[in-house]
Structure 1
């Protein structure tokens, strides 16, 4: 499902230099390494990222094939285990299993080769291995204390308990009690990582970050199927009102609390007090029905196609990566986040106003607020990296875009001005974030989430490694140096952590 009619393209056909994603890739350099043929497996990597990496490698003189063939010498995978890669290769080779098998490598070999401009020697750390059972798979009582040390899948065995604890965490946040909010979230995160369901309260003994209050909630649910405390919270007028108000685009806890104290309770109350609303909140209320409904994965993919089209028109060779919950494997969410970069540092600067102008000319933009980057304002690297663990300084745009069901009903013909979107569609929250290539790995890690996983990763960095981590970089205060990273794997390596794939970061 595309948002704009596909344009006829000239030049290379599918599977050639344009890349599988259709991006205008950097011009390929003369082939420098005839003995190396790379195949980038799309599984877990994604179409857009694969196209970006393909163009990057070809620009450095590597041969990268779009389809697997016996000539492939190096298969590069991202977020796959040796078991998954072996099964994939068996399916690809079929009855030709006697053929020489290629090297099966993780993304670290590729990123190191790109950094050096030549194929680096294959070492043990580059090879895909069957992972050893983690403590979370063997003994629930020996789970690591930090969520960034645990594999946390999207689907887990203790949903009724985690939903109850998340309700109490949310209510604590509405009351400004950050300590209780974090305590309940840590307890819920532990339950998500367990290899099986909790059936007896004795199983909670020895679990990290699991206090008496959380244990009482679980025990009550085990014995009665319901928690009286959780039900009281859910039925309270304050909780319901705060939940309603904080679902409005542009409204945080402080604003919602202020409105509640002023006696406001409903959207109708707010619509009668328009002087209390800023432009973002007005847009949030105007499109509340759409924005409070789920965005499905196929809708996120449709939005990605139109964003890519706009970005590539403005900056050929750029990459557009879907982040957030969708990158962690979710099939639905409430907004869509994209991270944009370009292999040439600095080319990405000032990109968003041009992209949003193009989308606006197509009748797609219902609201936008663009923030220019300001990380260069920081006088020193330590200041930059330690500024905040929640907010970064990248160029970004908070927007509401229109997702039509009938693309041709809104797309303007050449020479026409913007058209009003038809009623046949929905409004969707979309964030665009632009990062320079030198900081891309940190931005990708930070914008993938989950929020609790990121909080724990930064807490681990400070408490266990005495380093400062955020979406711009990793800084070692004692050595007064920044640690570079070409990939997320590099960041985990710097911290001495096992790499956790995005699909296992649902803490």
Structure 2
């Protein structure tokens, strides 16, 4: 302000993240990188990973290669590249030479070869080849449709389909309800959801749920809780501290949205908690909560205001003034809420490593429902995410530090 213009930042004004990287302000960059390397854990749950990725050119290449292995159902190298990407995302410096990798975990020979090529050539020829591969391009297109997974993509590819137009043109193909909705609202769904749209949907969801459960906790989870500005869908976790009324709330919300003309598609999956064996031994196991996978009609004026004037819709029927938005609603019993919140916040790699850490380092079993101590043979209760981290002996990481 004294200079009357923007001035250069000085080192003395920079804040260092002491917990994760105790490098001093005077440490040269090369020394800082090797010092940091020794403190980087193999587990994402012991690393603070924000959205500030200093190594995007490497992690983008890794994610393309991992996805290609996933499409080919080759799990081991897929996980290896995902773990490597996760490690590089947490670094507070950009890798400029191979020496910067010293002491970092999860970077095997194949991964180092990719890093070396990018540092020398500026890009990965392997990732470039994948992007032009016909099979990869087709799978990437197919899975962009809501309701289409790897098995369906494989089937379509074997049938000779390469683009979505060919799939839509085949009248003999039997599509599921979900896939039909995926094609019907494809352009809207594939364009992603902005933070403003997620906030607008949040108001619709909270209004509907609290109509029937006034004391309900409705929390946005997934990427938006981790601070992302854009996502594929909006996830919500719903619970109620009162009586066990939450089982009925989704049915009532669905009926309300039908009357309001907001529900374009829904698939309600009932809870299987009663027959579940908790916690699950599988790292990537599905949980047993009641869920609703829906597509909601978001009127454009709701993005900015809470008012939604539908009285003039008939006058401008030919002008589409709404957007289809993917919404997932998950209902959790109140006593499992902390575990459900932790599990549904993500990221996927963070959750996977959190469960691996619990099993291998603490002799515990963790899932979206519970934490079981195998040594003491007891379930550990938790009212908050902080308590779960404490049970595991981990430093608490904020949601925005879990972008692994």
Question: Which interval holds the TM-score relative to the shorter structure?
Answer: 0.7 to 0.9
Of 282, 285, 297, the match for 1:390: 285
Contact map agreement 1:399 1:430 (CA 8 A) in 2? yes
SS state at 2:247 partner: coil
Of 1, 9, 19, the match for 1:133: 19
Partner of 1:53: none
Q: Say if 2:88 is the partner of 1:185.
A: no
Q: Say if 2:62 is the partner of 1:176.
A: no
1:222 offset after TM fit, Å?
1.1
Q: Distance in 2 between matches of 1:372 and 1:434?
A: 10
Partner of 2:122: 225
Of 386, 389, 400, the match for 2:295: 400
Contact map agreement 1:363 1:421 (CA 8 A) in 2? no
1:480 offset after TM fit, Å?
2.6
Unaligned runs of 5+ in 2: 1-15, 24-31
Contact map agreement 1:314 1:351 (CA 8 A) in 2? yes
Partner of 1:97: none
SS state at 1:285 partner: helix
Contact map agreement 2:49 2:402 (CA 8 A) in 1? yes
Q: Say if 2:332 is the partner of 1:435.
A: yes
1:360 offset after TM fit, Å?
1.5
Contact map agreement 1:364 1:421 (CA 8 A) in 2? no
Instruction: Provide TM-score, normalisation by structure 2.
Output: 0.87
Of 219, 227, 248, the match for 2:145: 248
Contact map agreement 2:57 2:123 (CA 8 A) in 1? no
Partner of 1:348: 246
Q: Distance in 1 between matches of 2:85 and 2:387?
A: 28
Contact map agreement 1:157 1:194 (CA 8 A) in 2? yes
Of 363, 388, 393, the match for 1:491: 388
Partner of 1:161: 58
Of 161, 176, 195, the match for 1:297: 195
Q: Say if 2:174 is the partner of 1:279.
A: no
Q: Say if 2:258 is the partner of 1:372.
A: no
Contact map agreement 1:318 1:341 (CA 8 A) in 2? yes
1:217 offset after TM fit, Å?
1.0
Contact map agreement 1:156 1:192 (CA 8 A) in 2? yes
1:392-414 per-residue CA deviation (whole Å, 9 max, x = no partner) reads 1101100111111145777479x
SS state at 2:246 partner: coil
Contact map agreement 1:345 1:438 (CA 8 A) in 2? no
Q: Distance in 1 between matches of 2:340 and 2:224?
A: 16
Of 147, 156, 168, the match for 1:259: 156
1:315 offset after TM fit, Å?
1.1
Unaligned runs of 5+ in 1: 1-129, 414-419
Moved over 3 A (4+): 130-133, 135-138, 387-390, 406-413
Q: Say if 2:15 is the partner of 1:148.
A: no
Q: Distance in 2 between matches of 1:226 and 1:136?
A: 32
Q: Distance in 2 between matches of 1:466 and 1:355?
A: 41
Q: Distance in 2 between matches of 1:304 and 1:132?
A: 35
Q: Distance in 1 between matches of 2:242 and 2:61?
A: 47
Say what the alpha-carbon RMSD is for the aligned residues.
2.1
SS state at 1:154 partner: coil
1:131 offset after TM fit, Å?
7.5
1:257 offset after TM fit, Å?
1.1
- CA 1:422/1:445 → structure 2, altered by over 3 Å: closer, same or farther? farther
Q: Distance in 1 between matches of 2:289 and 2:311?
A: 31
SS state at 2:180 partner: helix
SS state at 1:433 partner: strand
Instruction: Provide TM-score, normalisation by structure 1.
Output: 0.70
Q: Distance in 1 between matches of 2:176 and 2:244?
A: 33
Q: Distance in 2 between matches of 1:409 and 1:141?
A: 53
Segment of structure 1 superposing worse, 497-506 or 469-478: 469-478
